[in-house]
Amino acid sequence: MSKTKTKRARRELKRDGDRKIVAHHKKVAKAAEAKQPSSKPPAKKQKKMSAPDTTPQAAAPKALTQASQKPDVPFGAYDHILLVGEGDFSFTRSLALEHGCANITATSFDTEEQVHSKYPSFDAIRSELAGLTPPVPLHHTIDATKLSSYKTLRCHRDLEEEDEDEEGKKKGEGWDTIAFMFPHTGGLSTDVSRQVRANQALLVSFFKACLDTSTPRKRLQLLQSQHNRVTPQTRPFLRMGGRIIVTLFEGEPYTLWNIRDLARHAGLKVVESWKFDWGQYPGYAHVRTLGTIEGGGAWKGEDRSARMYVFEKIPLVADSDEEVEMAKMARAERGGRLPSQKAALKQALEKEE
């Protein structure tokens, strides 16, 4: 059996074992919770256990957690993964075939015809992804700044019966991971400042689309749901605790984008970053936004240093203006009516749903 067929077979087996693994994880979690109260050692014993061990054997394990250690691939085999802004979909293929990721959906900004004309490698990759069981869905003409507006891109869990809480209510679902590899607006201008601003706007809009906060009204709605501890009417696009992964080249002008600050201002938690290891993704080749350049161009992406950033979705924090608006609406609701302006806002939110 060829290497590709072996990886496909392994991926199918992983897919079939999804239910059992989820059930096992739940069982283990419940068992851990049951043991937790009695697992705390007595005070005296705890003091003895925490005493420093000065022997050479105790110092040895520290070498295993050094910062220079090669990071694990941040894409789980059973994670529900949405890939945004793919070029020839070679990164999608690498995750599916090399890492056995069974729940991938991949998108591109270009039409299928444009992808075909810009990237000669696409036809072979598309055939490979279509031949998997299940095939990897590919969506074209998807704007990364409007992700949550596409109903076809909402995450659909296969194990719906496993996604219910003790009361039988559906848990808030959403994607586990949304990744954007080397986002770039393309050659819109030769002016560096304009290019920086354009790419910053792209990233900010992308973050807000993932968080369902693309408009102030939507953000206010989520803040109200959090404040009142009410489940939103629609499932989140990215689950709470889910991750957004962005990979950028190192050095200017990319460092001028200040991606960490952009993510914080959008309401994300900056988790970590590390040097991107091209070797961890066999078969993945960087392609340019404008397409393949005849003769290969002056440089290859794989020859350049890059960095992978991980951000986490956390509860939103209202700013001072939003707190004032929420307080006004709360007072109006207690009084039995909404002012005309707030009533219009509520109606607009309902229409958007």
| Predicted pLDDT of residue 326 | 82
Q: Do residues 135 and 42 lie in contact, with contact meaning Cβ atoms separated by under 8 Å? A: no
| Predicted pLDDT of residue 217 | 87
Task: Give the Cα separation of 288 and 88 in Å (integer).
Answer: 10
CATH 3.40.50.150 for domain 81-157+168-292+299-317, yes or no, is: yes
| Predicted pLDDT of residue 336 | 58
| Predicted pLDDT of residue 229 | 77
* The two structure tokens encoding residue 33: 């919770």
Task: Give the Cα separation of 99 and 106 in Å (integer).
Answer: 15
Q: Which residue has 């789980």 as its token pair?
A: 76
* The two structure tokens encoding residue 184: 């770039």
Taking phi over 0 as left and psi of -120 to 50 as alpha, with beta for the rest, 319 belongs to: beta
Taking the CA atoms of 83, 88, 91 and 96 in sequence, report the sign of the dihedral they define: positive
| Predicted pLDDT of residue 343 | 57
Q: What are phi and psi of 255, to 5 degrees?
A: -65, -25
Task: Give the Cα separation of 296 and 21 in Å (integer).
Answer: 45
What tens digit of pLDDT does each residue of 141-179 get?
A: 999 999 999 999 999 774 454 455 444 444 558 999 999
Task: Give the Cα separation of 284 and 292 in Å (integer).
Answer: 15
Task: Give the Cα separation of 107 and 110 in Å (integer).
Answer: 9
What tens digit of pLDDT does each residue of 216-254 get?
A: 888 888 888 888 777 776 789 999 999 999 999 999 999
Taking the CA atoms of 151, 153, 158 and 164 in sequence, report the sign of the dihedral they define: negative
**Residues 272, 156, 349, CA angle at the centre, nearest 5°?**
85
Output the pTM of the full model: 0.73
For the chain, give every domain's residue range. 81-157+168-292+299-317
pLDDT under 50 in the chain at which residues? 21-22, 25, 28, 36-68, 158-159, 161-162, 165-170, 295-296, 338-339, 341
Q: For every residue of the chain, which 3-state class applies, written as one string? A: CCHHHHHHHHHHHHHHCHHHHHHHHHHHHHHHHHHHHHHCCCHHHHHHHCCCCCCHHHHHHHHHHCCCCCCCCCCCCCCEEEEECCCCCHHHHHHHHHCCCCEEEEECCCCHHHHHHHCCCHHHHHHHHHCCCCCCCEECCCCHHHHHHCHHHCCCCCCHHHHECCCCCECCCCEEEEEEECCCCCCCCCCHHHHHHHHHHHHHHHHHHHCCCCCHHHHHHHHHHHHHCCCCCCCCCEEEEEEEEEEEECCCCHHHHCHHHHHHHHCEEEEEEEECCHHHCCCCCCCCCCCCCCCCCCCCHHHCCEEEEEEEECCCCCCHHHHHHHHHHHHHHHCCCCCHHHHHHHHHHHHHC
Q: Do residues 209 and 180 lie in contact, with contact meaning Cβ atoms separated by under 8 Å? A: no
Q: Do residues 182 and 248 lie in contact, with contact meaning Cβ atoms separated by under 8 Å? A: yes
| Predicted pLDDT of residue 50 | 45
| Predicted pLDDT of residue 121 | 92
CB atoms under 10 Å from CB of 145, counted, come to 17
